[in-house]
Amino acid sequence: MKGKGGDVGSRFPLSSREVAAASTVVLVFVLGLLGVYLTMPASDYSFLKLPRTLEDLQILRDHLETYTNDYTAQVLVGYCMVYIFMQTFMIPGTVFMSLLAGALFGVFKGVALVVFTATAGASSCYFLSKLIGRPLVFSLWPDKLSFFQEQVARRRGGLLNYMLFLRLTPTLPNTFINVASPIVDVPYHIFFLATLIGLVPAAYVTVKAGIALGELQSIGDLYDFNSIATLFLIGIVSITPTLISKSK
């Protein structure tokens, strides 16, 4: 592992071919967002920016509520493209997008939208990382990568349960899981199922909080002790079958 890390580290930053591949993905997203923008009515869209605070999010919510009723398709497509883009390129702030889904679309539609976009974005990150991510992962998270690779190798027989546990609990950051999974040979179908199922509880907590956005004082209020304990409990339940089978 260390030898490989040293070899790959010498290639950092990315080669011109890798940069070209990433740039092509960016261009696709930009053209998609431009298409959405061109179908919207003429107006002042200076409020459109990635929210970094709850105040930014409330301003964005207040403006988008007007457009959501009359231009539902455009708002949905724009939302999906922004969320998937952020997930693909590991841009912080998707928690604000999840809150926005609750504020604009309610719990049921909001959870479905967040789970869909988060899974699509994670999948996009998975395949992009498979193509060009190795030098970045070795450079940014060498220790975490070694730990993750060891755990995946040990749990091949119950890998889906282990990946579910990781998605349900904050043991490893979701961003790291997205970009490192193809590097440590987690099969895509396991990655996909664990992501699709495992993100539901956290998405529900965040989307539900978005409905009462005005009552939220800080992002830290989203995950109190009870919420984190519940997620860990669900995670432990998900990995129990693997633990039982190993003990036999």
Ordered by start, the domain boundaries in the chain are: 17-39+50-245
Q: H helices then E strands: how many in the chain?
A: 12, 0
**Cis amide linkage into residue 135, ω under 30° from 0:** no
* Residues present in the chain in total: 248
Tally of CA atoms within 13 A in the half-sphere of 117 that contains its CB: 25
Instruction: Output the CA torsion sign for 120, 115, 95, 109.
Output: positive
- The pLDDT value recorded for residue 238 is 57
The band of 32, judged by pLDDT with boundaries at 50, 70 and 90, is confident
Which residue has 């036999």 as its token pair? 248
Give the pTM.
0.81
- The pLDDT value recorded for residue 231 is 63
Write the pLDDT tens digit of every residue in 192-247: 999 999 999 889 889 988 988 877 777 777 766 566 666 666 656 655 555 445 54
Our CA angle for 130, 114, 189, nearest 5°, is: 35
Q: Radius of gyration over alpha carbons of the chain, in Å? A: 19
